[in-house]
Amino acid sequence: MSRVVYLHVGAPKTGTTYLQDRLALNKTELARHGVHYPLQLHASQFRPALDLLEMPWGGLHVDVDGEWEGLMNRVRRLNGKVIVSHEILAAARTNQVKRAMASLEGAEVHLVYSARDLARQIPAEWQEGIKHQRKQAFAGFLSKVQSSRRTKPNMWFWRVQSLPDVLSRWSKGLPPENVHLVTVPQAGAPRDLLWRRYCQAFGIDPAWAPEQSDRENVSIGAAETTLVRRLNRRLKDAGLPSEEYRRLVRELVVHQTLAQRPGMTKVTLPPAAFPWADEVADEWIEWIVGSGIDVIGDVADLRPVPTAPGTPWANPDRPRRVEMVDAALDAIVALAMEAANRPDPHEQITARIGRAARRLRGQ
């Protein structure tokens, strides 16, 4: 039986967390239909992707050596359809793409890329950066995005989000019909539409993965993001280790606390940036049509949808102080409860001394 590998390379913030978790949850059922999502000890293919990119990510670059080849070895032992999916793969350099394709030699390779319009992606990527300890204000981030080159880019945003550049890097040597672009539906679309589009790209029946995921890469509001951005500055000076930051700030404060707050002010693109975003969308659509690749969805999804006329724009760098204070209080409560639930170090020391004393008495 032949092997067909679907290589999903991103982009970030296009429903990839939900997709990968649903594939993992239904791994056994999918395998019964000849569709494989190879995992090892970890619940995603993040570590192999990190190994291929040879880049640091919170110190993990030391621990992932050999993970890509390990994943490829598992792929080569499978027949039928095999899905490899991680959004950071979009950032691969030309030599890394060549390495990835060489490791899939002998298989029929299909490339899958998912894209969303810039009016949604720019705020989402800014927030994602803040969750990873960055400290840049939204205005500065937007200015850099607009001024940075989109062809052979150095800026991370464009390395993963510049649709023509990503697909040009990854699709060399592939026929256009083996390159599948999944567009992320605009707001108001049926909740499962993006999932069904992914299934179409992978050539699977949605019914083969009945168990739904409740995971998503959460977003937070303007006040909450600015709070975390300012906190990042203080924590850097305080020297909080990255591992503790991931556990206490990203997971506890952001995901479990701030992301659950009702009525948050959404971070949106300023009205003055929409003409530029429209021009980029025109370039993308022209490239897509000329390339002849398979489009799953509608290229119109890639056009930014402006807010209703007369809607005031909320500057995310200058949120209302009362909103920031309220968000900060929620964060403090979460951290206080975490501290209260931690074992008392003095009690731990006393317990260790007691155990040692009992062992001595037993000698």
- Write the CATH number for 19: 3.40.50
Task: Pick the range with the lowest mean pLDDT from 8-22, 93-107, 208-222, 339-353.
Answer: 339-353
Asked if residue 258 is part of any domain, the answer here is: no
Q: How confident is the model at residue 355 (pLDDT cuts 50, 70, 90)?
A: low
Asked whether the bond before 11 is cis by omega within 30 degrees of 0, the reply is yes
State the DSSP string of 184-250. Answer: PPPTTS-TTHHHHHHHHHHT--GGG--SPP--------HHHHHHHHHHHHHHHHHT--HHHIIIIII
Q: How confident is the model at residue 360 (pLDDT cuts 50, 70, 90)?
A: low
Asked if residue 40 is part of any domain, the answer here is: yes
Asked if residue 193 is part of any domain, the answer here is: yes
pLDDT at 352 over 90: no
User: CA 348: distance to chain centroid?
Assistant: 38
User: CA 10: distance to chain centroid?
Assistant: 8
Asked if residue 89 is part of any domain, the answer here is: yes
Residue-level pLDDT at 349: 55
Asked if residue 93 is part of any domain, the answer here is: yes
Per-residue pLDDT tens digits for 8-32: 999 999 999 999 999 999 999 999 9
Domain extent, residue 41, equals 3-120+151-217+270-311
Per-residue pLDDT tens digits for 260-272: 999 999 999 999 9
Asked if residue 339 is part of any domain, the answer here is: no
Asked if residue 264 is part of any domain, the answer here is: no
Comparing CA positions, the residue from 3, 5, 7 lying closest to residue 113 is 7
Asked if residue 59 is part of any domain, the answer here is: yes
Assessment of whether the complete model's pTM goes beyond 0.85: yes
Total domain count for the chain? 1
pLDDT at 296 over 50: yes
